[in-house]
Amino acid sequence: MAVENLEKQTFADAISGLTDQIRIMEQKYTLKVDDTILQTFHEQQKRINRTRSSMKKLAKQKPEIKLSAPNFKVRKKLS
């Protein structure tokens, strides 16, 4: 009986250790994905700002060019 309880405890400890490892792996993966998304967002913001700046400079240099604000349509989120 004591050996059986020891085996159950060893198995439970092993499962608990695996669960901890999986949780840590998931956290690392989530942080990496979040970081990648944030970096991409900032790169796109920089490009947008550079484009806006270029458009303003162009409008000052060539006043005959009429620049209008883009009309972005926002899609509704699918449920």
| Whether the predicted pLDDT of 25 surpasses 70 | yes
**What are the CB-based long-range contacts (under 8 Å, 24+) for 25-30?**
none
Kindly report, residue by residue over 65-77, the tens digit of the pLDDT.
776 666 666 566 6
Kindly report, residue by residue over 33-55, the tens digit of the pLDDT.
999 999 999 999 999 999 989 98
CA distance 58 to 70: 16
- What's the confidence (pLDDT) of residue 55? 87
DSSP letter (8 states) at residue 65: S
